[in-house]
């Protein structure tokens, strides 16, 4: 399965594959270049790279649909957008078995406590994607009832904008998360932030 | 449909093709029973509460323009503010009813209430009124007498205040714009 | 003392109410059982694998049988109504589709119809036909997602991929017309936001030809499937009188034997000019609700086809009303006409003013009667907007329908009521 990869890009030099490198001519994105810059400071060992590789290849999300974004999250499981090619079609119902929490939808004040409970029940390593405008920032609902961004409650790794984001946009967020993990960037809870 | 004999009927209004029956709150249950049994309005569709605090006062709901507004659909009203008709009390509770019959007759039963004035529960007339009345209590603070389970429905149990009232702030966070730095 | 399961037969609906008293939404544990130690209280928390949203059910179980139920909602309460009071009429339309986020077009439709009723605005025929077409496509969309997730909850997992295949087709059509997959914001006061783009009609025709074959596929998977029938027949019984007393509407009402459809009985848009079937079934069980929705999908396809026939003849007609006090003038006019410039300015900054009054408008959404009650004070902003959600009433029927059911059937029954928490909580 030999793919000709340009050897000039740092991630590739270190043996990590980004999906984008499978598309020749696409070139590294700014994000990857940034990752390349800090990567030399992180210094991953081969074992850590292998662990990171396997973490990204089967990162199971939790079935956490709140509102409209949940419908678009369901459609990434469908055959057109097919998240099974990333090994993620196994949406776990129990947070104990899940790696990824995709907060899809607006977070009401009443729901804040269950979200924190569910996040706490997940086992490390765990990642959070705030999907949609409401989870990222409160969206169009700047009022008494909606928590203005879920990162007030739990630490978030990736924010996916949109109302609702297209399934491709959510997959882009997931792929970026994979790239982050493979580059060795620690999860948001390790970096510190709102909650632990 | 003729509603003259309805117990507690104060006024009948027709507007936009809809009939509104203003009913005395003390005789609400009787009126609803009569509507259900004699007039055939067997389905309660909705109970909607409205807060009229600040009705007709300029500047209540405007950042541009005023609550009274100038009716752009009626020419030559510029300079003359069309004030809306004043309301009898602060809250109105509207019961929308439907008869499962030819022509789908609908009627709105309206009661007017002050702050804190209770309204009798119509759960005995239409069991489906249960959650609607709880929502009226939760969102508008209209106490319902005789409701078997008067608890907050949409907000947390220990929430203070009634969010949909006009004197309850919208809340949320102030948004910082980068141009203001 | 286990409660006997209702018989899975084709007997007609019995008399007598099954609404638990004194409150229809709470099933209280029977006193005789409550004092024993056999009751297990389980919390079906807001995080549900069955994706109809964040519903919390506190269920009391005697063994495997449900003897008590208490539904708690509010976990996605967004404060729509308060937000809409702060925006102009035009901007408030953006909030509407997010209330019932699966049948989003119907929310926009009902809000816009209510504003137009207060304004007394006449909408051109092309816009009305297109509104009908999109609403019916949206009904099919909602039923497809319901079918996919409902079957998924019961274990018929492959249904999900079949239904989402057609759902993607509908979203492609939506994107072709409006630019968005969901929450399209295409309905404007007075008509449509933009003209129908060329190339839509052939694509829609393709969909209309394909969809009935897809429904045949779904039937092949589920309809005569012994496991599906065993899991849905005779369960979640809701008789005719109870359904009316609880304010049910839509497929739940029609599956209980009440022949009531707002599109036919209280027509709005141009539903009185098209022929369509209204499926009604007598038993009021989960299987009937499933059959009613499948048949509704077929009927919707017929309506879409008839709308297409009419729309293809209305090429070049206006798509929005001509009332410049409410509708933006076309941009070319802004260069030449002073009045258009002033109208544009007033409508964009202050917003159009809606005459004083209160109206209630109802449409037949995919879930039932979706109503919008608006109060206007004559100004550029709504004074009060209330959406009457059909799922709000459907949840009231939960306690009635799950009496005596097993816990596995609870999921099937609550799924068959097709509730959507976004519109319950608003």
Do β-strands C39-44 and B119-120 pair in parallel, antiparallel, or remain unpaired? Answer: unpaired
φ, ψ (nearest 5 deg) of residue C40:
-110, 125
pLDDT reported for residue A89: 84
Rounded CA gap, A195 and C361, in Å?
46
What count of residues does chain A have? Answer: 196
Q: Which tokens belong to A142?
A: 């700047």
The residues, any chain, with a CB within 8 Å of residue C213's CB and separated by 6 or more, are none
Please choose, from the candidates C330, C329, C254, the residue with its C-alpha nearest in 3D space to the C-alpha of residue C289.
C254
DSSP state of C4: P
Same domain? For A76 and A161 the reply is yes
For residue A142, the chain B residues in CB contact (below 8 A) are 170, 172-173, 175
Instruction: Find the mean pLDDT for residues A57-67.
Output: 87
- Residue B82 in this model has a pLDDT that exceeds 90: no
Number of H helices, E strands in chain A: 8, 3
Same domain? For A40 and A108 the reply is no
Q: Is the residue at A138 inside a domain?
A: yes
Q: Is the residue at A51 inside a domain?
A: yes
pLDDT reported for residue B66: 38
Q: Chains contacting B with at least 3 CB pairs below 8 Å? A: A, C
Across the interface, do A110 and B171 touch by the CB < 8 Å criterion? no
Across the interface, do B170 and A138 touch by the CB < 8 Å criterion? no
- Residue B73 in this model has a pLDDT that exceeds 70: no
Same domain? For A66 and A50 the reply is no
Q: What is the ipTM of this complex?
A: 0.86
Rg for chain B (alpha carbons), in Å?
19
Same domain? For A143 and A48 the reply is no
3-state SS of A52-94 is: HHHHHHCCCEECCECCHHHHHHHHCCCCCCCHHHHCCCCCECC
Same domain? For A80 and A31 the reply is no
Helix C407-416, helix C286-312: angle, nearest 10? 20
CA distances from B27 to B10, B143, C23 (A): 11, 16, 22
pLDDT reported for residue C61: 86
Please check whether residue B176 touches A, CB under 8 A. Answer: no
SS3 C219: helix
Q: Is the residue at A161 inside a domain?
A: yes
| Angle at the Cα of C253 from the Cα atoms of C249 and C254, rounded to 5 degrees | 120
For residue B135, the chain A residues in CB contact (below 8 A) are none
* Domain C80-322+352-425: top CATH class: mainly alpha
Question: What are the tens digits of pLDDT across the range C131-178?
Answer: 999 999 999 999 999 999 989 888 888 899 999 999 999 999 999 999
- Residue A43 in this model has a pLDDT that exceeds 60: no
pLDDT reported for residue B39: 87
CATH code, domain carrying A127? 3.40.50.12280
Across the interface, do B163 and A144 touch by the CB < 8 Å criterion? yes
pLDDT category at A16 given cuts 50, 70, 90 is low
Same domain? For A63 and A94 the reply is yes
Please write down the long-range contacts of A6-9, taking CB distance under 8 Å and 24 or more positions apart: A9/A36
For residue B170, the chain A residues in CB contact (below 8 A) are 142-144
Please choose, from the candidates C55, C72, C92, C160, the residue with its C-alpha nearest in 3D space to the C-alpha of residue C414.
C55
Which residue in B has a C-alpha nearest to residue A144's C-alpha?
B171
Same domain? For A22 and A97 the reply is no
Q: Is the residue at A3 inside a domain?
A: no
Rounded CA gap, A78 and C390, in Å?
28
A32-46, A161-175, B149-163, C145-159: segment of lowest average pLDDT: A32-46
SS3 A115: helix
Please choose, from the candidates C179, C183, C187, the residue with its C-alpha nearest in 3D space to the C-alpha of residue C129.
C187
Instruction: Find the mean pLDDT for residues C200-204.
Output: 92
Same domain? For A78 and A166 the reply is yes
Task: Output the CA torsion C62→C64→C69→C70 (10° steps).
Answer: 100
Question: What are the tens digits of pLDDT across the range A74-114?
Answer: 899 888 988 988 888 888 888 899 999 999 989 998 889 99
Taking a contact as any Cβ pair under 8 Å apart, which residues of chain B between 87 and 126 contact chain C?
94, 96, 98, 100, 102-104, 106, 108, 123, 126
Rounded CA gap, A158 and A177, in Å?
7
pLDDT reported for residue C173: 92
Same domain? For A164 and A106 the reply is yes
Which range of B161-175, C44-58, C247-261 scores highest in mean pLDDT? It is C247-261
Please check whether residue B163 touches A, CB under 8 A. Answer: yes
Domain range for A22 is 10-56
The domain total for chain A is 2
pLDDT category at C396 given cuts 50, 70, 90 is confident
The structural domains of chain C, with segments of one domain joined by +, span 80-322+352-425
The residues, any chain, with a CB within 8 Å of residue B94's CB and separated by 6 or more, are B20, B46, B47, B48, B49, B50, B108, B109, B110, C358, C360, C373
Q: Is the residue at A131 inside a domain?
A: yes
Same domain? For A21 and A83 the reply is no
Q: Is the residue at A5 inside a domain?
A: no
Q: Is the residue at A4 inside a domain?
A: no
For residue C377, the chain B residues in CB contact (below 8 A) are 55-56, 61, 67-69, 84
- Of the candidates B43, B69, B164, the beta carbon closest to that of C353 is on B69
Of the three residues A19, A34, A56, the one that is the final residue of a domain is A56
Instruction: Find the mean pLDDT for residues C14-20.
Output: 62
- Residue B145 in this model has a pLDDT that exceeds 70: yes
């Amino acid at each position: 399965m030999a793919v000709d990869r340009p050897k000039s890009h740092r991630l590739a030099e270190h043996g990590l594959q980004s999906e984008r490198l499978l598309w020749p001519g696409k070139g590294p994105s700014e994000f990857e270049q940034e990752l390349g810059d800090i990567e030399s400071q992180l210094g991953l060992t081969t074992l850590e790279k292998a662990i990171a590789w396997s973490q990204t290849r089967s990162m199971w999300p939790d079935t956490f649909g709140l509102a409209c974004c949940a419908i678009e999250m369901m459609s990434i499981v469908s055959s057109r957008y097919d998240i099974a090619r990333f090994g993620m079609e196994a949406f776990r119902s129990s947070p104990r078995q899940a790696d990824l929490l995709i907060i899809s939808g607006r977070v009401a004040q009443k729901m804040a406590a269950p979200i924190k409970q569910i996040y706490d029940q997940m086992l490390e390593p765990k990642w959070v994607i705030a999907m949609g405008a409401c989870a990222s920032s409160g969206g169009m609902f700047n009022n008494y009832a909606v928590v203005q961004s879920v990162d007030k409650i739990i630490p978030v790794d990736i924010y996916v904008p949109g109302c609702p984001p297209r399934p491709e946009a959510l997959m882009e967020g997931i792929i970026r998360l994979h790239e982050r993990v493979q580059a060795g960037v620690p999860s948001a809870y390790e970096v510190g932030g709102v909650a632990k | 449909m003729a509603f003259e004999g309805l117990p507690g009927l104060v006024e009948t209004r027709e507007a936009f093709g809809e009939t509104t029956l203003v009913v005395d709150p003390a005789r609400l249950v009787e009126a609803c029973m009569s509507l259900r049994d004699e007039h055939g309005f067997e389905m309660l569709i909705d109970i909607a509460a409205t807060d009229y605090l600040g009705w007709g006062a300029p500047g209540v709901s405007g950042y541009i323009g005023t609550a009274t507004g100038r009716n752009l659909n009626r020419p030559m009203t510029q300079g003359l503010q069309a004030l809306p008709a004043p309301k009898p009390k602060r809250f109105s509770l509207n019961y929308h009813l439907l008869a499962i019959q030819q022509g789908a007759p609908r009627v709105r039963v309206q009661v007017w209430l002050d702050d804190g004035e209770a309204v009798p529960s119509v759960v005995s007339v239409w069991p489906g009124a249960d959650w609607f009345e709880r929502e009226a209590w939760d969102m508008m603070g209209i106490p319902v007498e005789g409701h078997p389970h008067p608890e907050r429905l949409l907000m947390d149990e220990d929430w203070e205040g009634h969010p949909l009232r006009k004197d309850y702030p919208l809340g949320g966070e102030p948004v910082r714009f980068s141009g203001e730095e | 003392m286990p409660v006997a399961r209702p018989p899975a037969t084709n007997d007609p609906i019995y008399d007598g109410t099954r609404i638990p008293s004194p409150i229809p939404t709470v099933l209280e544990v029977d006193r005789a059982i409550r004092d024993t130690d056999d009751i297990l209280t389980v919390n079906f928390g807001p995080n549900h694998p069955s994706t109809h949203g964040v519903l919390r059910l506190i269920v009391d179980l005697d063994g495997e049988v449900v003897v008590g139920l208490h539904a708690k909602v509010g976990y996605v309460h967004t404060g729509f109504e308060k937000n809409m009071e702060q925006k102009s009429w035009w901007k408030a339309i953006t909030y509407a589709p997010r209330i019932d986020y699966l049948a989003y077009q119907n929310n926009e439709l009902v809000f816009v119809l209510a504003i137009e009723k207060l304004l007394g605005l006449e909408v051109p025929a092309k816009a009305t036909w297109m509104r009908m077409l999109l609403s019916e496509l949206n009904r099919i969309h909602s039923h497809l997602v319901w079918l996919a997730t409902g079957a998924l909850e019961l274990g018929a997992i492959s249904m999900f991929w079949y239904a989402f295949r057609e759902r993607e087709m509908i979203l492609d059509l939506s994107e072709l017309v409006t630019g968005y997959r969901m929450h399209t914001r295409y309905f404007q006061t007075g008509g449509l936001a933009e003209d129908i783009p060329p190339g839509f009609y052939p694509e829609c025709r393709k969909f209309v030809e394909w969809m009935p074959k897809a429904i045949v596929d779904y039937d092949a998977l589920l309809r005569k499937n012994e496991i599906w029938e065993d899991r849905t027949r005779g369960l979640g019984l809701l008789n005719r009188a109870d359904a009316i007393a609880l304010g049910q509407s839509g497929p739940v009402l029609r599956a209980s034997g009440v022949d009531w459809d707002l599109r036919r009985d209280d027509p709005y848009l141009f539903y009185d000019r098209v022929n369509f079937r209204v499926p009604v079934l007598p038993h009021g069980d989960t299987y009937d609700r499933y059959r009613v929705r499948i048949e509704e999908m077929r009927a919707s396809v017929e309506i879409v086809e008839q709308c297409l026939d009419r729309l293809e003849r209305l090429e070049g007609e206006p798509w929005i009303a001509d009332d410049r006090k409410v509708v933006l003038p076309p941009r070319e006019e802004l260069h030449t006409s002073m009045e258009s410039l002033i109208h544009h300015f007033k409508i964009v900054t202050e917003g159009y003013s809606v005459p004083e009054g209160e109206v209630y408008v109802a449409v037949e959404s995919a879930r039932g009667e979706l109503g919008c009650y608006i109060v206007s004070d004559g100004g550029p902003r709504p004074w009060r907007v209330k959406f009457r959600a059909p799922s709000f009433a459907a949840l009231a029927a939960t306690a009635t329908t799950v009496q005596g059911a097993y816990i596995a059937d609870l999921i099937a029954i609550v799924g068959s009521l097709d509730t959507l928490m976004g519109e319950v909580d608003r």
